[in-house]
Structures are given as structure tokens and as C-alpha cells.
């Protein structure tokens, strides 16, 4: 593997420092590329990168398929290789990419799960949240997920200074250290204001600027937030996935179902491309088909 190290390291540095990918994403790129080059080494021996044709890549992917890897995982590996060879062209290491003839497997388009309106209503109007610091924080984070569509990591990283009460907005630090501003509805603004007042009383000497804290005044742990979201959602819905991400999907689905412009939804979610946002239009189209069939005499 050592000999690939010199080829791969500049690419990993590029992903880390220029693309500002998260540690999690970097690790998946590294895993994919190292396993690919190990395979090439074992099957074909020392092979200069310029000689890697699409048939080498296909044989690696075929092996993974035989091992029972899902279409989604194989698609991820193809996308890793595409990025790597594209980088090779960009830096003049390669003339052309061997990926042109590699076909990404069809992935079953699973529509994002979302929580029905009535269940959301039940959650915030009827579910008992304990009257403790933990209970209040859990209720607030659920409201934030549902009303702003932010990611788990973004919610944990929210800063007190990121809230502008006069403008009714909150600043979110997204993937690749990109900031975005999300509007707060007046009700949520009020809840945040109350939370901050209680926080000053509860923790007068807090040194952290993090908005949401545990009963000990520490930033929230991802695992704990995940668990509490799952617990509360289980009380109101039977959908399989009961995670913070499902509330993000719910936020986006409700927006698109109510006619929000897709570009606006993209901005609110902090997606870097419209493709990621387009999955929500499928939900809307299915809904429109239903309405059409029920309401149109000729349908």
C-alpha cells in the first residue's frame, strides 16, 4: 500500500483543506480508495495509475457485488473513484478518466420518510415533556428540527450569538463550514428567548456559547439527542425511521407540499445541489396524483 500513499495523500489533503469535507466523509473516501488499490495490487500487481482502464474498475465492483454489497454502497464507491480520477485530470496526472464507461447501479429511490401533520400536532400539543431542564431542552430541539430542518450536527453546534431576535433568524453552520441564515417563526423565537432566560438562571457561570446544553451545562452529545428524538417520535408515529433526519425530511416535505419554491427549500436545507432537494418533489407529485384521482371526473 505504501506506494499508493504518495498518489493518494495529495487527494486526501485536497478533500480536507480545499473541499473542507468532514472527518466522516474523509474516512469513507480513504476506505474506498485503499480497498480499491489493494485489490489492484493483489490482482494485477504494480500498476501505474495511467494504465487503470474501466475493465479493472469493473472487476473490482463485480467482486463487491458478489460479496453482497448494496447498490447504494457500490454507487458510493463509484462516486469516490470518479472524484479521485477527476482530481487526477485536474492535477495533470491523467489525460482521461477510466470512469466514463462505468455505470452506476440503479438505486431503489426510497422516498424520505416523514411524520404526518397530525402526528406532529400530537407531539407538540399533547405529548408530556418532563418539567426538567432535560425535558425542556428535548422539546426545544424537536421544535428546531421540525421548524428549521437543520441537521443533528448543526443543532448541537448552534450558538447563542447566532440568534437574532430583532430579525427573527438563526445562523447555522452547515457542511463544509458553510453558514446559512434560517428564519424563525415568532412562536419558536419566543420559546428560544424563554430558554435563554432560564439558562441564565440555571447556569449563571456558563463559559460556553453553545445554545443547547445538558442539565450539567455541557453541549449535547449526538447519541443522546438521537435517542431522545426516537423516544418521542415513537409516541406519535409508527414510521420505521424515527431520527432527527426524519424531522428534516418532514420540514422539507411540508414546505414543498405547501407550494414552496424548490430553490428556497434548497437554501433552507443548505443543500449544495438541487439534486438533493429534488427528492421532495416526488412526495408532492405522489400527493398531487392522489388529489387528481380523487377529484377529477376523468382520472
The pLDDT value given to residue 3: 59
CA 199 to chain centre: 29
- Helices vs strands, H then E, count in the chain: 12, 3
**What residue has cell string 453482497?**
68
- For the domain spanning 2-101, the CATH number is 1.10.150.130
- The answer to whether 79 and 212 are in contact (CB under 8 A) is no
Predicted confidence (pLDDT) at residue 2 exceeds the cutoff of 60: no
Q: Is 201 a catalytic residue?
A: no
284 — pLDDT class (breaks 50, 70, 90): low
Predicted confidence (pLDDT) at residue 1 exceeds the cutoff of 60: no
Would you list the domain boundaries of the chain? 2-101, 117-294
191 — pLDDT class (breaks 50, 70, 90): very high
Q: Is 139 a catalytic residue?
A: no
Eight-state DSSP code of residue 176:
G
The grid coordinates listed for 191 are 420559546
Distance CA 227, CA 207 (A): 27
Q: Is 205 a catalytic residue?
A: no
Domain 117-294 has CATH 1.10.472.10: no
The pLDDT value given to residue 281: 66
Distance CA 106, CA 159 (A): 41
Out of 139, 199, 242, 248, which one is annotated catalytic? 248
Q: Is 271 a catalytic residue?
A: yes
Predicted confidence (pLDDT) at residue 103 exceeds the cutoff of 50: yes
Residues 204-244 have pLDDT tens digits of 988 888 999 999 999 999 999 999 999 999 999 877 788 89
Distance CA 98, CA 212 (A): 48
CA angle centred on 17, ends 38 and 265, rounded to 5°: 100
Predicted confidence (pLDDT) at residue 203 exceeds the cutoff of 60: yes
Residues 55-95 have pLDDT tens digits of 899 989 988 888 888 888 888 999 999 999 999 999 998 89
The secondary structure of 235-288 as a DSSP string is TT---S--SHHHHHHHHHHHHHHTT--HHHHHHHHT-SSHHHHHHHHHHHHHHH
Residues 116-134 have pLDDT tens digits of 889 999 999 999 899 999 9
Q: Is 245 a catalytic residue?
A: yes
Distance CA 75, CA 103 (A): 9
Out of 58, 159, 171, 175, which one is annotated catalytic? 175
Distance CA 121, CA 217 (A): 30
Percent of the chain at pLDDT above 70?
92
- The answer to whether 213 and 137 are in contact (CB under 8 A) is yes
Helix (H) or strand (E) holding 164: strand 163-164
Q: What's the average model confidence in pLDDT over 35-48?
A: 90
Q: Is 24 a catalytic residue?
A: no
Out of 16, 65, 76, 151, which one is annotated catalytic? 151
**Maximum Cα–Cα distance for the chain, whole Å?**
69
Amino acid at each position: 500500500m505504501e506506494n499508493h500513499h504518495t498518489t493518494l495523500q495529495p487527494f486526501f489533503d485536497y478533500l480536507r483543506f480545499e473541499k473542507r469535507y468532514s472527518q466522516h466523509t474523509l474516512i469513507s473516501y480513504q476506505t474506498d480508495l485503499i480497498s480499491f488499490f489493494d485489490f489492484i495490487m493483489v490482482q494485477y500487481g504494480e500498476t501505474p495509475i495511467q494504465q487503470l482502464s474501466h475493465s479493472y474498475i469493473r472487476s473490482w465492483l463485480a467482486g463487491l457485488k458478489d460479496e453482497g454489497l448494496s447498490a447504494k454502497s457500490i454507487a458510493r464507491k463509484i462516486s469516490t473513484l470518479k472524484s479521485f480520477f477527476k482530481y487526477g485530470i485536474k492535477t495533470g496526472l491523467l489525460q482521461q478518466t477510466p470512469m466514463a464507461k462505468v455505470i452506476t447501479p440503479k438505486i431503489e429511490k426510497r422516498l424520505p420518510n416523514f411524520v404526518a401533520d397530525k402526528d406532529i400536532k400530537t407531539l407538540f400539543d399533547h405529548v408530556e415533556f418532563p418539567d426538567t431542564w432535560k425535558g425542556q431542552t428535548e422539546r426545544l430541539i424537536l421544535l428546531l428540527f421540525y421548524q428549521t430542518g437543520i441537521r443533528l450536527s448543526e443543532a448541537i453546534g448552534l450558538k447563542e450569538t447566532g440568534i437574532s431576535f430583532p430579525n427573527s433568524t438563526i445562523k447555522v453552520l452547515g457542511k463544509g463550514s458553510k453558514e446559512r441564515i434560517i428564519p424563525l417563526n415568532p412562536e419558536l423565537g419566543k420559546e428560544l428567548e424563554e430558554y435563554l432566560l432560564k439558562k441564565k438562571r440555571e447556569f449563571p457561570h456558563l463559559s460556553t456559547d453553545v445554545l443547547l446544553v445538558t442539565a450539567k451545562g455541557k453541549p449535547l452529545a449526538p447519541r443522546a439527542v438521537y435517542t431522545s428524538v426516537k423516544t418521542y417520535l415513537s409516541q406519535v408515529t409508527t414510521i420505521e425511521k424515527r431520527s432527527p433526519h426524519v424531522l428534516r425530511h418532514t420540514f422539507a416535505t411540508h414546505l414543498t407540499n405547501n407550494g414552496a419554491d424548490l430553490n428556497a427549500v434548497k437554501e433552507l436545507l443548505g443543500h449544495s445541489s438541487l439534486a438533493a432537494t429534488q427528492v421532495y418533489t416526488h412526495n408532492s407529485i405522489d400527493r398531487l396524483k392522489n388529489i387528481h384521482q380523487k377529484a377529477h371526473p376523468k382520472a
